[in-house]
Chains A and B, each alone.
Chain A
Amino acid sequence: MISYEKFTLANGLRVIVHEDHSTPMACINILYDVGARDEEEERTGFAHLFEHLMFGGSVNIPNYDSPLQQVGGENNAFTNNDVTNYYLTLPAENLETGFWLESDRMLSLAFSDKSLEVQQNVVVEEFKQRYLNQPYGDEWLLIRPLAYKVHPYRWATIGKEISHIEDAVMDDVKDFFKRFYHPSNAILVVAGDVELSKVKELSEKWFAPIDPGQKNIRQLPQEPKQTEGRFLEVFKDVPSDSLTKVWHMSPRMAKEYYAQDLLSDVLGRGSSSRLHTKLVKERQLFSGISAYVTGSFDAGLLVVHGRLVNGVALEEADDAILEVIEELKSKPLDSNELQKVKHKAESTHVFGEMSILNKAMNLAFGELLGDIEMVNTEIDKINAVTEDDILTQAKQILVSTNCSTLFYRRKEA
């Protein structure tokens, strides 16, 4: 159970407070309702590049990091296809420094040319380090545009290509800030050794004076139903073949989401899952295989990803996955299978509540998704899923016309 209080400032900024006095630390988490899905097709990777620029100095504070480190704090941020999330932790007695820093960069950035230029280079190096200079690093850069033809989930957060990052100019940065970075597009969570009254006072002092801005109205083209199976094959300089299959599934807040999530767990979570037991252990076709859901806000993907044992044909491995899926669809689950994946989901949830920062992020995501109470009701929803629900979802989504397959082949030397 996470207890919390919520209030909204006159400028629209939503503030959530979670008191946890078992720690001497406090954290501030600010979630901005903007992600890679909000980018234009010709300027992908921008939300993430922008996240880097948020550390390049704000209108009154030339350097974001130093004053925070000076009071014993540290910070980071991440961008995904849906959101951009900034967080800092610091000794609770220095909480106000966090308010000062975060409010100033919500007020306005310094918009320094030098910062833009340097961060473009840094992000290009990040692109290389994580996606291009790694074996299999570009798998998701290939799968997204295969599975999504219309929705902006068709590009990855890092962007479609390096040139999009290199081509960004300061006007883009300013427009982006104006459109997405203001109180009515953000959620502030303060957690740890803090008092509600103090957080209220600090929020009024530092955030209330900021102009509310215009709430961004998101109108994204939703992905039409896929009607035939898709296939892509690439040849790369890697030590062994890799296979990915994805099926379209429901948005994060759809009622069938939990059944789909548990379906992926039955298939491929952990070493007692069906795919692992049958294809890694019994048939030794894969050196590792797993299934999971992307969990994105808009309609996401159920993913099966495996790396092949050398000498096994991709076609055979693909058929073997389909056999496991057909078997799942045609027979009732094993007696303890459903309970097993529910226990795992529960323990993941409980372990996820062991740090103030995780709790703060969960609260922010819940609020943005429109149901903050989900932090406390999610377990019940998972436990309410029946075996029938899972089989219904399996039959509905795990069909060939809804599937995209990537064969990532080892190039023969």
Chain B
Amino acid sequence: MSVLNRVIPPAANPIRDVKLESPNKFELPNGIDLFTLSAGTQEVVKIELVFESGSISHHNPLVPGFAVAILREGTSTKNAAQIAEAIDDYGAYLETDIGKDYTSVTLVTLSRFLPQTLPVLIEIIRDSAFPEKEFEIKRANRRQKYLVGLEKVGFVAGKRFQEILFQSQGYGAAFNEESYNRVSRDEVLEFYQKHIQRSPFKIFMSGFLTKEDIHLVKTEFSALTDIKTELDSIDYNSVDVITPIQELIVKDNAMQSAVRIGRKLFTRNHPDYFGMKVLCTILGGYFGSRLMTNIREDKGYTYGIGAGMASMKQDGYFYISTEVGVDVCANAISEIYKEISFLQDSAVLNTELELVKNYMLGSLLKSFEGPFERMERFKLVNLQGFDVDYYLNYSQAIREITASQLMHLANKWLQKDDLIELVVGKK
């Protein structure tokens, strides 16, 4: 018997491309698009309704969030407790979510209870009553949550960073405790009426789907005959000029400082988008990234550090994010800039580049496990105007990018003079 060699790794196989299937698309008579994706073995159904308005769709960025959160707190025939029961009785989940660009309402249920729970989903988007009392409870509780958030350096930094990036407008609209006091029920109701109640939406349905499940969803949603055909346009003013600044928000009792470094970038349409994804991964996008290796695994300054890109519909940004001991904060920041300089001054070695490419391809493959995740991937790009080919292009771009292209991108987009630096805590 040969002695086992534990030093040499087993032979590695190249990573397959993701097998992409487009969800089926049905155009309902009222103009609503229904996408369905059936896979897996568990008899469950997820139905997500996505409306194309989010927190940037109102001058008080809190109003849309209130509107969607109160949807489930009362309709003309059910109070909040009855709605909760109508869902909980069947072990289902009803979630609402507000993003910068989108609002979504999601039902997840065991397939056998779809007929009982689907009407509740429809009822809350069509017939929400916004009871005054529920509104006040929500206001008090959300304001309190916000005040708790203000005690966390990470929360304060995340919020302030976006304000700096977008000059307190649009995607970085500023809000404070007073904004919670100012929200009125009438404003919230008006937002609901204008952007949700009869507004068009997309339906993303996934799980282990039967013909009957799909038929039921088609029938119930086709019955909504008064859906508006025109979307209310959203005014979005992109902030073109950014002034890179350094800002320190002092928190005297902080044991750790939250650090955010970054800049405004671009949307998924930009020709440098995929390349920057690879660059960000090398810098701080996985456990073996340069920032993690240096600042956590070599210096022990932090529990975690990451870099990434946020991609909204009409804008995007690059960020580095960490929380570090206050005593090592200045060192950590200088190491961050050092790592950026390395990317600008010397080409990534082939071994590292291959590793990152494989890691990204494997990670992409994994993100398609199961029907919910696959639909999530599709939804993400569909809402920004792409189809599933996006992921083929993405993996193609990962496979093709070269070290010199990455160095070029680092010089083009990560100049220190263009970066915002924010510290919350002590420096």
Which A residues are within 8 Å of any B CB, using their own CB?
22-25, 59-61, 65-67, 69-75, 89-91, 93-94, 96-97, 99-100, 103-104, 107, 117-126, 128-130, 132-136, 205-206, 209, 237-240, 270-272, 277, 280-281, 284, 287-288, 307, 309-310, 336, 339-340, 342-348, 350-351, 353-356
Number of B residues with CB within 8 Å of any CB on chain A: 74
A74 B359 Cβ-Cβ under 8 A: yes
Q: Kindly list chain B residues whose C-beta atoms are within 8 Å of the C-beta of A356.
A: 369
B362 A90 Cβ-Cβ under 8 A: yes
Chain B, residue nearest A71 (CB): B12
Q: Kindly list chain A residues whose C-beta atoms are within 8 Å of the C-beta of B349.
A: none
Chain B, residue nearest A132 (CB): B255
Any chain A CB within 8 A of the CB of B84? Answer: yes
Query: Which 10 A-B residue pairings sit nearest by Cβ, starting from the closest?
Result: A72-B362, A121-B300, A343-B91, A347-B91, A272-B84, A239-B147, A96-B10, A126-B303, A60-B6, A69-B359
B366 A346 Cβ-Cβ under 8 A: no
B6 A125 Cβ-Cβ under 8 A: no
Contacts known (A287-B141, A353-B42); A340 close to B89, Cβ less than 8 A:
yes
A61 B85 Cβ-Cβ under 8 A: no
A70 B355 Cβ-Cβ under 8 A: yes
Among A238, A342, A354, find the residue whose CB has the most chain B CB atoms closer than 10 A.
A354
Any chain A CB within 8 A of the CB of B350? Answer: no
From B11, B12, B42, B355, contact of A66 by CB (8 A): B355
A277 to B359, CA, bound (A): 47
A91 B42 Cβ-Cβ under 8 A: no
29 A–B contacts from the bound complex (CB under 8 Å): A23-B369, A59-B6, A60-B6, A66-B355, A69-B288, A70-B355, A71-B15, A71-B362, A72-B362, A73-B359, A74-B362, A91-B13, A91-B15, A96-B10, A100-B6, A103-B6, A118-B299, A125-B323, A133-B152, A135-B151, A272-B85, A280-B141, A287-B141, A288-B141, A339-B89, A346-B91, A350-B44, A351-B108, A355-B369
Chain A, residue nearest B150 (CB): A239
From B40, B88, B144, B299, contact of A354 by CB (8 A): B40
A277 to B84, CA, bound (A): 10
Q: Kindly list chain A residues whose C-beta atoms are within 8 Å of the C-beta of B422.
A: none
Apart from A69-B362, A128-B256, A277-B81: 18 A-B pairs, beta carbons within 8 A: A24-B19, A67-B9, A69-B359, A72-B365, A91-B362, A100-B9, A117-B300, A118-B298, A120-B300, A125-B300, A239-B147, A239-B148, A271-B84, A281-B80, A287-B145, A343-B113, A346-B91, A347-B92
From A65, A122, A129, A239, contact of B151 by CB (8 A): A239
Chain B, residue nearest A336 (CB): B89
A125 B12 Cβ-Cβ under 8 A: no
A125 B301 Cβ-Cβ under 8 A: yes
A125 to B305, CA, bound (A): 12
A122 B10 Cβ-Cβ under 8 A: no
From A118, A240, A280, A336, contact of B300 by CB (8 A): A118
Contacts known (A97-B10, A271-B84, A346-B110); A69 close to B92, Cβ less than 8 A:
no
A121 to B287, CA, bound (A): 17
Q: Which of B33-47 contact A (CB under 8 A)?
A: 39-44
A355 to B41, CA, bound (A): 11
Contacts known (A69-B286, A97-B10, A100-B6); A351 close to B42, Cβ less than 8 A:
yes
Q: Which of B148-203 contact A (CB under 8 A)?
A: 148, 150-153
Q: Kindly list chain A residues whose C-beta atoms are within 8 Å of the C-beta of B358.
A: 69-72
A66 to B286, CA, bound (A): 11
Q: Kindly list chain B residues whose C-beta atoms are within 8 Å of the C-beta of A281.
A: 80-81, 137
Q: Taking the nearest CB of chain A, how far is it from the CB of B205, in angstroms?
A: 16
Among B7, B16, B110, B148, find the residue whose CB has the most chain A CB atoms closer than 10 A.
B148
From A25, A122, A270, contact of B365 by CB (8 A): A25
A121 to B12, CA, bound (A): 34
B273-289 vs A, Cβ < 8 Å mask (1 yes, 0 no): 00000000000001110
Chain A, residue nearest B141 (CB): A287
A122 B89 Cβ-Cβ under 8 A: no
Q: Taking the nearest CB of chain A, how far is it from the CB of B92, in angstroms?
A: 7
Contacts known (A135-B151, A238-B148, A351-B108); A343 close to B89, Cβ less than 8 A:
yes
A206 to B5, CA, bound (A): 10
Q: Kindly list chain A residues whose C-beta atoms are within 8 Å of the C-beta of B356.
A: 69
A94 B12 Cβ-Cβ under 8 A: yes
Q: Taking the nearest CB of chain A, how far is it from the CB of B155, in angstroms?
A: 10
Q: Kindly list chain B residues whose C-beta atoms are within 8 Å of the C-beta of A343.
A: 88-91, 110, 113
Q: Kindly list chain B residues whose C-beta atoms are within 8 Å of the C-beta of A71.
A: 12-13, 15, 358, 362
Any chain A CB within 8 A of the CB of B125? Answer: no
Q: Kindly list chain A residues whose C-beta atoms are within 8 Å of the C-beta of B361.
A: 72
A117 to B298, CA, bound (A): 10
A133 B365 Cβ-Cβ under 8 A: no
Chain B, residue nearest A308 (CB): B144
Q: Taking the nearest CB of chain A, how far is it from the CB of B352, in angstroms?
A: 9
Any chain A CB within 8 A of the CB of B217? Answer: no
Any chain A CB within 8 A of the CB of B310? Answer: no
A391 to B147, CA, bound (A): 39
Any chain A CB within 8 A of the CB of B296? Answer: yes
Q: Kindly list chain A residues whose C-beta atoms are within 8 Å of the C-beta of B10.
A: 94, 96-97, 99-100
Q: Which of B350-377 contact A (CB under 8 A)?
A: 354-356, 358-359, 361-363, 365-366, 369-370, 372
B1-31 vs A, Cβ < 8 Å mask (1 yes, 0 no): 0001011011111011001000000000000
A272 B81 Cβ-Cβ under 8 A: yes
Chain B, residue nearest A127 (CB): B303
A332 to B297, CA, bound (A): 57
A239 to B148, CA, bound (A): 6
A271 to B297, CA, bound (A): 42
Chain A, residue nearest B91 (CB): A343
A135 B152 Cβ-Cβ under 8 A: yes
A355 B108 Cβ-Cβ under 8 A: no
Contacts known (A74-B359, A122-B303, A135-B148); A344 close to B6, Cβ less than 8 A:
no
Any chain A CB within 8 A of the CB of B397? Answer: no
Q: Kindly list chain A residues whose C-beta atoms are within 8 Å of the C-beta of B85.
A: 272, 336, 340
A339 to B85, CA, bound (A): 11
A322 to B362, CA, bound (A): 52
B370 A347 Cβ-Cβ under 8 A: no
From A23, A74, A93, A129, contact of B363 by CB (8 A): A74
From A61, A270, A287, A350, contact of B43 by CB (8 A): A350
Contacts known (A93-B13, A281-B80, A350-B42); A272 close to B88, Cβ less than 8 A:
yes
Contacts known (A89-B366, A238-B148); A119 close to B300, Cβ less than 8 A:
yes
From B254, B255, B287, contact of A65 by CB (8 A): B287
A344 B369 Cβ-Cβ under 8 A: no
Q: Taking the nearest CB of chain B, how far is it from the CB of A11, in angstroms?
A: 14
B287 A74 Cβ-Cβ under 8 A: yes
Q: Kindly list chain B residues whose C-beta atoms are within 8 Å of the C-beta of A239.
A: 144, 147-148, 150-151
B80 A271 Cβ-Cβ under 8 A: yes
A125 B302 Cβ-Cβ under 8 A: yes
